[in-house]
Amino acid sequence: MATIKDIARKAGVSQGTVSNVLNGKGNVSSTKILKVEEAAKALGYTANEKAKLLRKGSSKTLALILPNPYDRQYSDFLISFTAFAEAQGCDVALYYSEDDSEQERNLIERIKSSMAIGIATYTTLGKRAVATYQAYGYEPHQVLFVERSGGGSYLGFDYTNAAHAIAEHLGTDSLTLVSEEQASQDEQFSKALETRVGHIKHVRTNTFSRKSKLFAVYEEKGAKVVVTTSLALARMCRSIQTSFFPETESALLTLA
């Protein structure tokens, strides 16, 4: 039977990485996870996670699904979530969806097979998310939707109050709102802003289109006020504005 050392050699990663992937632990990139899984499958390696957990007792693992390992807002949440979990005597198993709904479904199935007792997720599934998680065996009280509402327990901003505060602070009748495509709650924020500001240009981005769309925001020279829904978007806006459009006077505000 193949060993962890065999899998590590074939996948071109460390034995520690293989161990983390097979046990659903650690901060491992989606690329390395795929390499390990493909190597394990090719070598005929199988691990009965449920049997291991039965030998150890009950699982004390909480799963966390993040869109990617790059954006600061997600790494910040990981730090806070891990601290909370460890204070409750739990481990954290980290997964990346790459903002892909099919990938998220695959991850839920993997997480369920690992017998994690709960999940916190930046979901890509919108309002149907809570039903999807329930179909895989997770009841609504076992799932926390972070920043993106999924129809169940939700952790995020009070967008109506945030819109009121921003409109009052800026005192403008026109602005550009930059958000992520998958963040369904941003629509609520956009509508709340529009009722208080007037004209809103809403630019929706994703991991692949982010730079080109933000470049276009400043290239059009109409972005006198830009509001972003995340710190990562704000940083990229500021970088593009100062590097390529230093003569453009533009106020920048972010929710986080």
Model confidence pLDDT, tens digit, residues 25-79 = 666 787 888 888 888 888 876 555 545 544 554 568 999 999 988 888 888 899 9
Report whether pLDDT(159) > 50. yes
| Contact between residue 7 and residue 18 where contact means Cβ atoms under 8 Å apart | yes
Residues sharing a CB contact under 8 Å with residue 87, sequence separation 6 or more, in sequence order? none
List, as one string, the DSSP characters of 10-62. Answer: HHTS-HHHHHHHHTT-B---HHHHHHHHHHHHHTT----HHHHHHHH-S--EE
118-121 and 91-96 strand pairing: unpaired
Per-residue confidence (pLDDT) for residue 232, from 0 to 100? 85
Confidence of residue 142 (pLDDT cuts 50, 70, 90): very high
Mean pLDDT along residues 97-104: 92
- pLDDT at 143 > cutoff 90: yes
Tokens 């997720």 identify what position?
121
The rounded distance, in Å, linking the Cα atoms of 171 and 251 is 12
Which domains, from first to last, does the chain contain?
1-47 (1.10.260.40), 49-155 (3.40.50.2300), 159-254 (3.40.50.2300)
